[in-house]
Amino acid sequence: MRRGVKRYGFATLLAAGALSMAALSAAQGKQTFTGKITDDECPTSDHAAMQMGPNDAECTVACVEAHGAQYLLYDGEHAYGLGDQKTPKQFAGQKVTITGTLDSKTSTIAVDSIVAAK
């Protein structure tokens, strides 16, 4: 390691490390996710057991407001936490497309936008 530091200089090695980190971060950039807005009480969006409302939307909102649940996106296979817990309320029980950045360690999406899916 010492030979590398002497030959290339510390600043050069530091810059190379910074570029590697930037490339890794770029690989985890913005993505789109499509699924249904639900909550962590009913993560697979099956609200029949909870019966907190007459439909999925009302049950989802009731679970969040009455039980302190968190809004999620369920894509039919995975449930993703959402960094934005305010905007999903208007889309509760609906199929949406979310643009954001996934933190793969926590399965949480840093939400940039949510729109109704077509």
> Which CATH number do you get for residue 47?
2.40.50
Indicate whether 7 pLDDT > 60: no
Task: Determine what percent of the chain falls in helix, strand and coil, rounding each to the nearest 5.
Answer: 35, 30, 35
Question: Is residue 22 in some structural domain?
Answer: no
Q: Do the domain assignments include residue 14?
A: no
List phi, psi (to 5°) of 105: -70, -35
> Does 36 fall in a domain?
yes
In a domain, 16, yes or no: no
pLDDT tens digits along 58-80:
999 999 999 999 999 999 999 99
Q: What is the pLDDT of residue 11?
A: 55
Q: State the pTM of this model.
A: 0.73
What is the span of the domain harbouring residue 49? 29-116
Q: Is the pLDDT of residue 86 over 90?
A: yes
Query: What pLDDT band is residue 89 in, cutting at 50, 70 and 90?
Result: very high
Q: How many domains does the chain have?
A: 1
